């Protein structure tokens, strides 16, 4: 790959990245309390969402891309009109840091995972749907299945907890990681739940049976997060000062990118397959052409 385009995006750590469906905008969230929009034409700033009082830890875009949900250390979830950036609703379940947020693919719900072991679900009109006391431990990640019927959440501890939506009834618990689970994602149209644990393993759970079917450990220690290519055949894994790309079919290393800072947080492929973006602790976003 060619050398990346590098630009300073935030005044502190970059914590999350996502492209819009048309690949024309890149969304970034930072520890500087802000969400920014970047034009993929020239990587100049195209928008600013600046109403949180503390770090923006996570965000999720609705399927129609008209609403953006953000979760913050200021203990709130905000729903914004997108891309205009007008706050539609400010939501709060408890006075705890919000570490994970996702809008369901069918657009019915937004769910947030918080420190203190709670998950809260609202409609996109801001009405409460259900609150779930999951654990006494901090939650850090959340995922909703493509059919909108299953919610997975995890954080500190070895377990992944599963609940039905919209009622919040417990489905079961998945065990096998160690210390903490930092990433969750449904893939293959909901056939699998993918999880990444603090012990550096990535696991595939078949959702029909909730059995663990595959386990993979990157060649280099220090894994922090993951992202999938648009066809879900390539997995990008953020590690200390690098990003590695693996073929999902056989876990063969395909490429490696060097990043000149230790902590790499946000990863994103553009849906059109042209770009790969990585955010880092040095406040910068790096953009590689995938041509």
- 41 within 8 A of 274, measured Cβ to Cβ: no
- The reported pLDDT for the residue numbered 240 is 87
Mean of pLDDT over the chain: 95
Show the domains of the chain with their CATH numbers.
Answer: 1-21+218-291 (2.20.25), 51-216 (2.130.10.10)
Instruction: With residue 13 as reference, give the H or E element that holds it.
Output: none
The whole-angstrom separation of Cα 182 and Cα 100 is 10
pLDDT-based confidence at residue 1 (cuts at 50, 70, 90) = low
Burial grade of 149 (CB within 10 A; 0-12, 13-18, 19 or more): middle
For residue 212, give both structure tokens: 């663990």
* Predicted confidence (pLDDT) per residue in 54-99, tens digit: 999 999 999 999 999 999 999 999 999 999 999 999 999 999 999 9
The whole-angstrom separation of Cα 126 and Cα 78 is 9
- The reported pLDDT for the residue numbered 268 is 98
- The reported pLDDT for the residue numbered 218 is 87
pLDDT mean over 3-22: 96
The whole-angstrom separation of Cα 104 and Cα 24 is 22
205-236 burial, b at 16+ Cβ within 10 Å, e below that, comes to: bebeeeeeeeebebeeeebbbbbbbeeeebbb
- The reported pLDDT for the residue numbered 73 is 98
- The reported pLDDT for the residue numbered 260 is 86
* Predicted confidence (pLDDT) per residue in 184-236, tens digit: 999 999 999 999 999 889 999 999 999 999 999 987 777 889 999 999 999 99
For residue 69, give both structure tokens: 């949900």
3-class SS of residue 190 = helix
Portion of the chain with pLDDT greater than 70, in percent? 100
Tell me the pTM.
Answer: 0.95
């Amino acid at each position: 790959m060619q050398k990346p385009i590098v630009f300073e995006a935030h005044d502190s750590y970059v914590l999350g990245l996502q492209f819009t469906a048309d690949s024309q905008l890149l969304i970034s969230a930072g520890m500087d309390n802000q969400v920014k929009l970047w034009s993929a034409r020239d990587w100049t700033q195209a928008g600013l969402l600046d109403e949180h009082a503390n770090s923006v830890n996570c965000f999720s875009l609705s399927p129609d891309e008209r609403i953006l949900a953000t979760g913050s250390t200021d203990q709130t979830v905000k729903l914004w009109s997108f891309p205009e950036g007008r706050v539609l609703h400010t939501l709060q379940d408890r006075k705890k840091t919000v570490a994970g947020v996702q809008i369901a693919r069918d657009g019915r719900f937004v769910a947030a995972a918080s420190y203190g072991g709670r998950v809260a679900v609202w409609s996109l009109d801001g009405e409460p749907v259900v609150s779930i006391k999951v654990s006494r431990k901090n939650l850090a990640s959340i995922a909703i299945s493509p059919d909108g019927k299953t919610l997975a959440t995890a954080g500190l501890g070895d377990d992944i907890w599963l609940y039905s939506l919209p009622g919040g009834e417990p489905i079961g618990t998945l065990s096998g990681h160690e210390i903490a689970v930092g990433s969750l994602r449904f893939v293959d149209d909901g056939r699998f739940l993918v999880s990444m644990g603090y012990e550096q393993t990535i696991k595939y759970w078949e959702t029909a049976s909730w059995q663990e079917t595959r386990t993979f450990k990157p060649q280099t220690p220090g894994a922090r997060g993951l992202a999938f290519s648009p066809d879900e055949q390539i997995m990008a894994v953020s590690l200390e000062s690098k990003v590695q790309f693996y073929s999902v079919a056989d876990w063969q290393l395909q490429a490696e990118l060097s990043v000149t800072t230790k902590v790499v947080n946000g990863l994103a492929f553009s849906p059109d397959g042209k770009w790969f973006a990585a955010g880092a602790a040095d406040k910068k976003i790096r953009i590689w052409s995938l041509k």
